[in-house]
Amino acid sequence: MSKIKPSKGAPYARILGVGGYRPTRVVPNEVILEKIDSSDEWIRSRSGIATRHWASPEETVAAMSVEASGKAIADAGIRPEQIGAVVVSTVSHFHQTPAIATEIADRIGAGKPAAFDISAGCAGFGYGLTLAKGMIVEGSAEYVLVIGVERLSDLTDLEDRATAFLFGDGAGAVVVGPSDEPHIGPTVWGSEGDKASTIKQTVPWDAFHGGDVSNLPLNQQGEIKFPAITQEGQAVFRWAVFEMAKVAQQALDAAGISADDLDVFIPHQANLRIIDSMVKTLKLPEHVTVARDVETTGNTSAASIPLAMERLLATGKAKSGDTALVIGFGAGLVYAATVVTLP
């Protein structure tokens, strides 16, 4: 018989507050067109994106996260020192160590919480939310700060016609805390590593670590290109439209609800065509509010779901207590979907 005492966590968890930060610079498609042979009409028809935000040198991954976190903590009505863990999902923090979560925890005045980064691409927010729920129910933290943050402008090849227009910067954060009722459903998550090459970094970091650099890609000026994100657009589109609609339905089934019970749908803001196709495949009723933040924010990877959530609540298109289906999917290929009650 085990001598270990049982955990004394909360029976359930819920999202208590949300916050977002978008860089001050707004970048229209016309700026993107300076380096690629395309048109504003083509970009909008392919992605739905009209503008995106790009960070200044001062708007670092940490700085954007601190801003978004402060708003989420205030929205949750708790003190920073009550946070027991900080989970940051990002692929654009360029220091291998230490985790940026430790710096963020210190800058927001959280004391000495557990703090770590995860790399799960565009599904990162869902992964972080699931980890937070587990910590609260298990009892290792009473409140968990989950952050999705990206500076994807640093990883964008502006000469790549297939991806130059897609990515934006920003940070979204939520505070997850205890609840007496279930407000975060079971997570349906997974990966399809056989398709990992469809979204990837162009060259690994160690390609710059001495040796022969003659095979590295060059820009139009003949200079070595910084690593960037590349993808096989059609393959990713087909996977997202057909496979992720199935995952979204599984999340509804796991939560014990139907599409008719939903108030809000917040998918990863990858592409407006993907979002509209998923809405059609899931047969979402007219009353369901659908996040289409991608139009003015672009694809911000792990930040896209909390940013879209924050904007829906701020604009009144969604309200506290609404039932929302959230799903993230991206590089890996990885995915995570769950049903939540909005804060």
Q: Is 287 one of the catalytic residues?
A: no
Q: What radius of gyration, in Å, describes the C-alpha atoms of the chain?
A: 20
Rounded to whole angstroms, the Cα distance separating 312 from 289 reads 9
Rounded to whole angstroms, the Cα distance separating 188 from 178 reads 21
- Tell me the C-alpha to C-alpha distance, in Å, between residue 98 and each of 116, 169, 311: 9, 22, 31
> Catalytic one among 29, 122, 183, 271?
122
CA 90 to chain centre: 8
Tokens of 285: 């009723």
Rounded to whole angstroms, the Cα distance separating 88 from 102 reads 9
> Catalytic one among 29, 53, 268, 271?
268
**Cβ(303)–Cβ(330) under 8 Å?**
no
> What's the one-letter identity of residue 99?
A
Rounded to whole angstroms, the Cα distance separating 208 from 210 reads 6
Q: Is 183 one of the catalytic residues?
A: no
> Catalytic one among 29, 53, 93, 299?
299
Q: Is 271 one of the catalytic residues?
A: no
Name residue, tokens 């769950």: 338
Tokens of 141: 């933290």
* Residues involved in catalysis: 122, 268, 299
